[in-house]
Amino acid sequence: MRLTLASSSPRRQKLLATILTDFDTASPDIDERLLPGESPEQYVARLAERKARVCGCENDLTLGADTAVVLGHRILGKPLDRDDATAMLEALSGRTHEVYTAVALLQEGRVQHVCTCTSVTFTGLSRTTIGEYLATDEPWDKAGAYGIQGYAGAFVQQIVGSYSAVVGLPLCETRNMLQRAGLTMRHG
């Protein structure tokens, strides 16, 4: 049985490689727009499943994942431009937000899901700090305009939940799901 990770994210690939020695990757091309009335959990679960189905093969396992940064009732996607990224980081400054990550495993036409929610509290960010951060390559392809695994980790005052889920793949939940599907993990 072979696993395909339906993601072009190098962060997800690196995380999965910590628990699984060999897998394929595929880049899903899906519409990531939020549907009317959709909750953050429904949104990430739908996208994770859609990615798995788009990249899935008949006889293999396919893993899709999606992450959303949520402030209040607003889902912060990937920034469109510098102004959008600035607005997101200013909104996150000195506040607590949630990061929802869903994982969907497609096996023989059936999908199982898991969704995690992690609370992240940012320290206050000055306009100078935000500007300097935006001068890096980090914020541009990430939900909420930040990557916790990089320099923006220094903005995090507190995290309650799964660090790896904030990066993009909740390792404990993913490991359990893959083991139940019959895959052998790196460390038993």
Catalytic residue among 66, 83, 84, 141: 66
At residue 184, the 3 state secondary structure works out as coil
Question: At a CB cut-off of 8 Å and minimum separation 6, what does 25 contact?
Answer: 4, 5, 6, 7, 8, 13
Whether residue 51 contacts residue 66, with contact meaning beta carbons closer than 8 Å, is answered with yes
Is 66 labeled as catalytic in the residue annotation?
yes
Tokens of 83: 């102004």
Residue 148's H or E segment, with its range, is: none
Residue 112 tokens read as 């199982």
Phi-psi region of 108 (alpha: psi -120 to 50; beta: other; left: phi over 0): left
∠ CA 161-6-166, nearest 5°, is 15
| Ramachandran angles phi, psi of 90, nearest 5° | -65, -40
φ, ψ of residue 59 to 5 degrees: the values are: -105, 5
Catalytic residue numbers, as ranges: 66
